[in-house]
Structure 1
């Protein structure tokens, strides 16, 4: 009888395909609303359609792809409603992570690590794309530092969706980039162990992004 404890297998082909598709969606190579051509993707990736379908199925379950009856499979379109919902979800995940750090973790060390990313944001100057990548790195570090595998897993999808919005956000920061200040304040509040201040700043940060993306 086959047991549960068996030699570990290498990452499966469908997992690799799913990772590549996530990266393509996050980078904008597969744009919001784009239809996926199964035959063309199979050729590009050099795989058969079986593993490709399984990889795409994983992204459908994650909500990054949507199947429309009689039409096919599409990358989700980040409408204003989708953007608000995504940032609401991100706020819930990141606040849960921050709370765990502030309650049980070494919040001073985490705060210093977050400040190090803020310093890189400052050094990036007017390179909005670089600041955007560091913005994401800041929030990934925040969630990772909480030590919760489930929060990290949920956060992964919302970060891919955030990447889908980066190009639109870059334009809104052309004349006034508040991201360095916002992240500096958030890192400082975490470093000092300020629970209520951290929650307030995180909420304001997410609200600002939603307003910029939806023009509301």
Structure 2
């Protein structure tokens, strides 16, 4: 009998990546902002080696981009980027729903999704949009995982960081704090027992038009900035 593998210790670079990831999603580092190695290393109290490893990890996740001879920058998602991320999400989640209907436990999945919707509702009502975005992602990831396809879940994970970035950017522009939970409650209910031709239109209606929401948010921010300078 083979000896069990020791539990891996969390490396410093992984801890730094988690910190930077959280800061980016919280807006501490804004879209398009350059991250300066020396300043960051000093503020975090670490050497530049682990910081570089952490930044490279976030480049691979799609949260940062490295431009030769210029530096590393926080990704600023364009309307086209948003639409592409949501296109991929919709395609994968539609495949997951089809698989779930064919061979999954719909009732158990619906119960889990309903619990997540309840938590999301509480977060949004308390004004915690960041947690609302995290729970939104957990809801959809749970749906995909319920299909029981390792490769589908793995593929979905490749757009997870960009999805998180999209959700956190869009959460403040959601139609109302009630809409987010209501739409997820509805999806959970349909996934539990409704036919495919009822679920898929609701899924696509729920995704809506992320580019339009982003434009509205940017317009509101611009109007606010102009008002403050008057």
TM-score interval (norm. to shorter): 0.7 to 0.9
CA RMSD, Structure 1 to Structure 2 (Å): 2.7
1:213 aligned residue:
214
2:184 aligned residue:
183
Could you state the TM-score of these two structures normalised by the residue count of structure 2?
A: 0.76
Matches within 5 A, 1:1-216: 7-123=6-122, 126-128=125-127, 129=129, 131-147=132-148, 148=150, 149-151=153-155, 153-166=157-170, 169-174=171-176, 177-192=178-193, 194-215=195-216
Higher relative CO (CA 8 A, sep ≥ 6), structure 1 or 2? Answer: 1
Moved more, 129-138 or 30-39: 129-138
Contact 2:85–2:159 (Cα < 8 Å) also in 1: no
SS of the residue corresponding to residue 34 of structure 2 reads coil
> After TM superposition, what 4+ stretches of structure 1 lie above 6 angstroms from structure 2?
none
Q: Deviations over 1:63-116 (max 9, x none)?
A: 211112322100100221121112112222333333333332211111122122
Q: 1:99 to 1:144 in 2, by over 3 A?
A: same
Q: Deviations over 1:147-180 (max 9, x none)?
A: 43514522422332224413xx423425x85323
Could you state the TM-score of these two structures normalised by the residue count of structure 1?
A: 0.80
Contact 2:80–2:211 (Cα < 8 Å) also in 1: no
Q: 1:123 to 1:36 in 2, by over 3 A?
A: closer
Moved more, 22-31 or 155-164: 155-164
Q: 1:99 to 1:211 in 2, by over 3 A?
A: farther
How many residue pairs get matched?
208
